A and B are shown apart, each in its own frame.
Chain A
Amino acid sequence: MAEIQRVGEVIEASTTGFTAQCYELYQMPPLGSLVKTGDSAAELYGIVCNATTASLEPGRRPIARGKDEDSEEAIYRSSPQLAKLLRSEFEVLVVGHKDGDKLYQHLPPQPARIHGFVYQCSPDELKDFGKSFDFLNIILNAHLPVPGEELVAASLRRISQAHDDQRAFLVAAGKELAILLSGNLNQLNAILGRIKL
C-alpha cells in the first residue's frame, strides 16, 4: 500500500463538509480528489470541491511586489515571510463515511472534528470507493462554490485513474449519470464531454 499522504488539517466543519488548511502554501490536493479524515472508528470521505489561497488576516490583502523582480520565484525568495503570511485552504464535500469496514456513500452521523488530519486516499481506497456511484447524487444535489458538473467530472476522472479499465469505469459512471440526469440533458452532455477519454 502506498504511503498515506497527509494534506491538511480541519479548521472548520459541518455535517455536509469541512474546510482544511494545508501545511505548506499551495500544497492543496487537486479539485475532485478523494480525501479522508477521522480515526479508524469513524472515517469521513470527502471530495475536494474548492480551494483558496488568501492572506492570514482577512483585513490585510497582499500587495503586488514583483515590479523589480525577474521571476515569480524571486518574489518569494526576497520576501520569505510571504509563505507564513499567506495560507492555502481547501473545502471538502463530505460524500461518505466508513463504519467499521463498511463504506457508506451517504452523510455521516457526525461532522468532522476540528484539527482532524486530512489524508489523500490511496489508489486502493479509490477503487473501493468507485464500486458504488451513490456519491454522484450527493454532489449533484449539493450547493457548491463550483459548478456541479465540473466537480462530478473531476472526481470521476481522478477515481478512474486508479482503475485498470478506466474506460469501463467511466462508461458505468456515465450510465449512472444518464439515469440521474434523465431530465437534464444539457448537464449530462456537459459531464460526458468532460469525462470522455
Chain B
Amino acid sequence: MIERLGIVVSGSLNKGVEVRLDSSTSIEDMVEGRFVTIEGAKRRFFGMITDVSLGMTDQRLSLTPPDVSDPFIAEVLAGTSTFGTLHVSPSLVIGGGASAILEGPQPVKTIPSHFSAVKLATQEDVELVFGTEDEKRFFIGNPLDMEVKLCLNLEELVKRSNGIFGKSGTGKTFLTRILLFGMLQKSKAVNLVFDMHNEYGWAGTREGGPPVKALKQFFPSRVAVFTLDEENSRHRGVSTDGVVKIGYDEIEPEDITLLRQTLNLTDLAVEAVYQLYRKFGRSWIQDTLDLKLDEGLPEGLSVHEGTLLNLQRGLATIRRLPFIEPHSPANAVKAIMEHLDRGTNVVLEFGRYRDITAYILVANMLSRRIYAHYQSRVEKADAKGGVRPQPLVITIEEAHKFLNPIVAGQTIFGTIAREMRKFNVTLLVIDQRPSGIDSEVMSQLGTKITCLLDNEKDIDSVLAGVSGRSELKSVLAKLAAKQQALIFGHAVPMPVAFQPREYGSAQSYKDFAPQKEAEEEIEKLWD
C-alpha cells in the first residue's frame, strides 16, 4: 500500500493542480519530475511533479519564525501551520471509465476533484503508461529517481523524424548509440548513420575511460561500416566494408547550393552553377575549374567575372577534399544502397575529414540519391501493389548546418523532415544548437529527446508548441549536466525526464547484446 502524499487543494486544467502535502510527507523527498497518481472520484490521473513550494497558514510566521530548535515545536508546526505544496500537471487518465481500460492511458481533459488523494506512482502505474520491455518496446532508461523501466515503442518512433538535442558533452552520442541499438534490435527500420566523429561504427570514445563498443561489435552481420578515410580507419583497427570515394562527375548543382554558406559563395555564383551544369554536363566541375578568364568564356555562358572567381575558389575547396577524385572507380552510392536494400545498417565514418564541408557534401549527396531511390521504389510498390522498402532512418549530426532556415528549403533533409514517412525515410537529427534549425522542420519532428540546454533560444525552439511548456522548461533547465534527458512527443504518452540506461560496462554490454554473444563476451573478460 502506497501512502498518501497529500491532497489536491486547487488547480486548473491549463495550469495543473496544487497538492498540499500531509504532515507525514517530507517535502525534501519530493523531487521535480517524479510521477504521481491522483485518485479522483471517477478517474485516476497520472501526472508529474513540476514544482515544489513552501506554504504557511499565517504570514506572521515568516516575520516571527517560531523556535524550531525545539523539536516539539518544529514537529507540531510541520504540516499544519507550515506545509509543503506540490504543483502537479496531470497528463493522462489511467483508470476509471471503460475507454481508459480498453484504450489505455488517455490524455487529460479534466482535473481531479477537490481533496483527491495524491500518491507516488507505483511500478504498475508507470508500466501502464510507458509499457514494458517486449518485442517492440526498447528499454532506454529509468525515469528520474525511480527504479522503473522507461520503454519506447521503436516501431512507432521510426515512423516520424526525431531529434536528439543537448549541449556538447551532455551525452547525446551515448543516447544516440542506445537508440540505434534499439532500432537494430526492435524495429524493422534500417539505419544510415553519417558518423562525423567515428562514434557509432566500431568503437566510440568515452570521457575519462576506455573506448566503448559500438554497433558493429555487437551486430557484425547486420552493420556495414563505410569510410571516407581508409587510412584512419585502419589505424583505429576498424574493419571496414567499403571505402567511399566521390567523383567530380557525381556532384550535382544541388550539392553546391547547400554548401553556399560553408564555401562562402555568392547567390550569383550558386545561380551560375546551374548554367555551367547545363553547358558542361557531368564534367562541369573540372571544366569550370579549367576556365581561364583571360581566354574568354565559351559561347552561351553569361557569368560575371567576379562570380566565376568566387565559384572557382569554392570548387577548389571541394577539390582539395582527399576523398574527391576526378573519376571514382566504384559507385559508392550504389554500394551503400545495396547494403541498405539487403537490410544491412550502414555507418559512414568520416575519419579525419571532420571538416563541415566534407560532411555536408557527402551527407547531402548520398541522402539525395538514396531518397530518390526510395521514392521511386515506394511509388512503384504502391502502383503495382508490391512490397514497400524497409523504413530507413538517416542519422545526421550537426543538423543545424543542413536544416537552418536558409537552406532547409533546398536540402534533401528539409524535404525528408517535412514529408516524413510518405516514402519510408525519416531522420534522426542530432544537434547542439536546436535554435539554428528551421522552425518548420522542428515542428515536424515526432519525438524529441533533449539533454541539458542552457541557451534560452535553444530551449524555446526545442519546446516550441509543446503543451505545458513552462513546466517542461523548468524540468529541462534542472537536468544534470550528464546522463539525464527529457523525452517528449509522438513516441511517449507524456513528457518524462529520465536517466539513459547504462552503457559501457561489461554488464551493460551483456544486456544489450544478443544472448550468445554476450556470454562469449563475459568469458573473454574473465580470461
Contact = CB atoms under 8 A, between A and B. Distances in A.
Interface string B59-77: 0110010100010110111
12 contacts: A171-B72, A174-B73, A175-B23, A175-B79, A178-B76, A185-B58, A185-B61, A188-B81, A189-B66, A196-B70, A196-B72, A196-B73
B72 A182 contact: no
Contact of A178 (B64, B70, B72, B77): B77
B441 to A, nearest CB: 55
B76 A192 contact: yes
Nearest to B82: A178
Given A175-B23, A196-B70, A185 B60 contact: yes
A185 B57 CA distance: 10
B14 interface: no
A178 B75 contact: no
Contacts of A1: none
Interface string B20-44: 0001000000000000000000000
A192 B80 contact: no
What 3 pairs between A and B have smallest CB-CB spacing? A174-B76, A178-B80, A182-B57
Contact of B72 (A170, A177, A179, A185): A170
Interface string A117-161: 000000000000000000000000000000000000000000000
A186 B404 CA distance: 64
B76 A182 contact: no
Contacts of B61: 185
B81 A171 contact: no
A189 B73 CA distance: 9
A interface, over-half SS: helix
A170 B70 CA distance: 14
Contacts of B60: 185
A167 interface: yes
A2 interface: no
A183 interface: yes
Nearest to A197: B72
A178 B66 contact: no
Interface of A: 167, 170-171, 174-175, 177-179, 182-183, 185, 188-189, 192, 196-197
Interface residues of B, number: 16
Nearest to B56: A182
Interface of B: 23, 57-58, 60-61, 64, 66, 70, 72-73, 75-77, 79-81
Nearest to A180: B80
A102 B64 CA distance: 42
Nearest to B23: A175
A150 to B, nearest CB: 18
Nearest to B78: A175
B58 A182 contact: yes
A101 B510 CA distance: 67
A174 B73 CA distance: 8
A128 B436 CA distance: 71
B463 to A, nearest CB: 39
Contacts of B64: 185
Give the one of B23, B72, B75 with max A CB within 10 A: B72
Contacts of A189: 66
Contacts of A182: 57-58, 80-81
A170 B66 CA distance: 17
Nearest to A170: B72
A63 B23 CA distance: 57
A99 to B, nearest CB: 30
A89 to B, nearest CB: 35
A179 B70 contact: no
Contacts of A171: 72, 75-76
Contact of A192 (B23, B58, B72): B72
Contacts of B81: 178, 182, 185, 188
B77 to A, nearest CB: 6
Nearest to A178: B80
Give the one of A167, A179, A185, A189 with max B CB within 10 A: A185
B72 A167 contact: yes
Nearest to B80: A178
A44 to B, nearest CB: 30
A167 B74 CA distance: 13
B418 to A, nearest CB: 58
A189 B60 CA distance: 12
A192 B77 CA distance: 10
B73 A192 contact: yes
A177 B80 CA distance: 9
Nearest to B61: A185
A179 B77 CA distance: 9
B58 A179 contact: no
A42 B464 CA distance: 71
A109 to B, nearest CB: 33
A175 B73 contact: no
Contact of A175 (B58, B70, B76): B76
B71 to A, nearest CB: 9
B332 to A, nearest CB: 75
Given A178-B57, A185-B58, A185-B64, 9 more contacts: A171-B72, A174-B73, A174-B75, A178-B76, A178-B81, A182-B80, A185-B60, A185-B61, A192-B76
Nearest to A168: B75
A88 B390 CA distance: 101
A71 B75 CA distance: 48
A183 B80 CA distance: 12
Contacts of A192: 72-73, 76
Contacts of B58: 182-183, 185
B333 to A, nearest CB: 75
A177 B75 CA distance: 13
Contacts of A196: 70, 72-73
Contacts of B75: 171, 174
A34 to B, nearest CB: 22
Nearest to B57: A182
A186 to B, nearest CB: 9
A56 B58 CA distance: 49
A177 B66 CA distance: 15
A175 B72 contact: no
